[in-house]
Structure 1
Amino acid sequence: NQIIQNFSDTWRICLISQVKNAQANFHLNVDFTQNLNQKALEEIVNKVKNFQKHYECIIYLPNTSIPTQDNINSEDIFDQYQLQKQINMNPCLLTANLANKYLTSNGVIMFMGNQSSFTQPLYDKIAFSLIQNQVNFLNLSMGDRETIDIDSFSLNLLQNDIEQEDNDQQNQYKQITQFIRRWAEGKSRPISGTFIKFNKKKNQYYPELI
Structure 2
Amino acid sequence: MMNLMRRALVIGGSGALGRSMVEIFRDSWEVTSVDLRENSSAHKNIILNELQKIDDQCESCKRELTGKYDAILCVAGGFAGGSISEPEVFSKIQHLMKLNLFPCVMAGHIATQFLAEEGLIVLTGAAACFKDTTPGIIAYALSKTATHSLALNLATRQDIPATSTVATILPEVIDTPSNRDAMPNADFSKWANPRSIAALVKMWAEGVNRPENGSFAVLKTVNGQIVPEFV
Q: Same fold (TM over 0.5)?
A: yes
Which of the residues 29, 34, 40 maps onto 1:22? 40
Contact 1:116 1:161 in 2 (8 A): no
> Which residue is 1:150 aligned to?
161
Q: What is the rounded CA distance, in whole Å, between the counterparts of 1:55 and 1:112 in structure 2? A: 18
> Which residue is 2:61 aligned to?
44
1:72-121 C-alpha deviation (Å, 9 max, x unpaired): 11101111111111222211110111112111110000012111111111
Task: Give matches, 1:73-88, under 5 Å.
Answer: 73-88=85-100
Q: What is the rounded CA distance, in whole Å, between the counterparts of 2:189 and 2:21 in structure 1? A: 17
1:165 Cα deviation from its structure 2 partner: 5.6
AA in 1 matched with 2:58: L
Q: What is the rounded CA distance, in whole Å, between the counterparts of 1:200 and 1:36 in structure 2? A: 34
1:130 Cα deviation from its structure 2 partner: 0.6
Contact 2:219 2:227 in 1 (8 A): yes
Which of the residues 40, 53, 68 maps onto 1:54? 68
Q: Return closer, same or farther for 1:59/1:177 CA change in 2, 3 Å cut-off.
A: same
> Which residue is 2:112 aligned to?
100
Q: What SS does the corresponding residue of 2:125 show, helix, strand or coil? A: strand
1:12 Cα deviation from its structure 2 partner: 0.9
Give the TM-score taking structure 2 as reference length: 0.80
> Which residue is 1:184 aligned to?
205
Q: What SS does the corresponding residue of 1:71 show, helix, strand or coil? A: coil
> Which residue is 1:89 aligned to?
101
1:17 Cα deviation from its structure 2 partner: 0.5
> Which residue is 1:3 aligned to?
21
Alignment of 1:70 with 2:106, yes or no, is no
Contact 2:129 2:144 in 1 (8 A): yes
Contact 2:190 2:221 in 1 (8 A): no
Contact 1:154 1:193 in 2 (8 A): yes
> Which residue is 2:227 aligned to?
206
AA in 1 matched with 2:131: T
Share of identical aligned residues, percent? 21
1:58 Cα deviation from its structure 2 partner: 0.5
> Which residue is 1:130 aligned to?
142
Q: What is the rounded CA distance, in whole Å, between the counterparts of 1:136 and 1:13 in structure 2? A: 25
Q: What SS does the corresponding residue of 1:56 show, helix, strand or coil? A: strand
> Which residue is 2:10 aligned to?
none
Give the TM-score taking structure 1 as reference length: 0.87
1:6 Cα deviation from its structure 2 partner: 0.5
Structural RMSD (CA): 2.1
Q: Return closer, same or farther for 1:115/1:168 CA change in 2, 3 Å cut-off.
A: closer
How many residues end up aligned between the 2 structures?
202
> Which residue is 2:15 aligned to?
none
> Which residue is 2:195 aligned to?
174
1:177-208 C-alpha deviation (Å, 9 max, x unpaired): 22111110122211100000122333333111
Deviates most, 199-208 or 151-160: 199-208
Q: What is the rounded CA distance, in whole Å, between the counterparts of 2:189 and 2:211 in structure 1? A: 28
